[in-house]
Chains A and B, each alone.
Chain A
Amino acid sequence: KQEVTQIPAALSVPEGENLVLNCSFTDSAIYNLQWFRQDPGKGLTSLLLIQSSQREQTSGRLNASLDKSSGRSTLYIAASQPGDSATYLCAGTNFGNEKLTFGTGTRLTIIP
């Protein structure tokens, strides 16, 4: 059974810093990995999708990488802004199985 862990559970950094959020998974048969953002009381917004044949994806100030051999994915946020404050969730699907397994989330606070 795939298990996904995110460390740390919470992170506070000053505005302007670059930061990395980590995601670890137990089953290297992970197929697709997706990063989401969730604001308090809101739904999940998809940030980046790394498909099975890819190793990384970029969108604006965000870059996500996937290393299946080590069981890790990272989300890099450049030049952080207060508007980046939210909970970030990683989630993966396994080959032949569309079910999404979620990580525990990292609550990010950017200090102005």
Chain B
Amino acid sequence: NAGVTQTPKFQVLKTGQSMTLQCAQDMNHEYMSWYRQDPGMGLRLIHYSVGAGITDQGEVPNGYNVSRSTTEDFPLRLLSAAPSQTSVYFCASWRGDYGYTFGSGTRLTVV
């Protein structure tokens, strides 16, 4: 049982480039979410999804796009990378009786 898998683990982008952070879970959880973690700011919610075909914005959605075509996958797209998006990104899935399960994270640097 792999849980939540994120790829890549590390990425360096140039300003203006776009990329997709991948997230997959094998626990059949309906709810998935993306967080970013920055020093002094803690973990902040970017986008979340309560099921396939349904997504919504979190606390800091600007510059990011998501879609949810399957229960398993919840990719996060950076449309035009900016240095302010340098961060560690975590994907998570949730079920009420199980709590949250987090992926190992993607460390992104935008230069």
Contact = CB atoms under 8 A, between A and B. Distances in A.
Contacts of B97: 51
Interface in A46-83: 46, 49, 51
Contacts of A45: 102
Nearest to B43: A102
Nearest to B32: A98
A12 B98 CA distance: 31
A43 B103 contact: yes
B10 to A, nearest CB: 11
Nearest to A101: B45
Contacts of A44: 90, 100, 102
Nearest to B30: A98
Interface residues of A, number: 20
Interface string B74-107: 0000000000000000101010111111111101
A98 B50 contact: yes
B45 A49 contact: no
Contact of B99 (A43, A49, A99): A49
Contact of A99 (B48, B96, B107): B48
A7 interface: no
A91 interface: yes
B101 A46 contact: yes
B61 interface: no
Interface of B: 31, 33, 42-43, 45, 48, 50, 58, 90, 92, 94, 96-105, 107
Given A49-B99, A98-B96, 19 more contacts: A32-B99, A34-B100, A36-B102, A42-B105, A43-B90, A43-B102, A43-B103, A43-B105, A45-B102, A51-B96, A89-B43, A91-B43, A98-B31, A99-B33, A99-B58, A100-B33, A100-B45, A103-B42, A105-B42
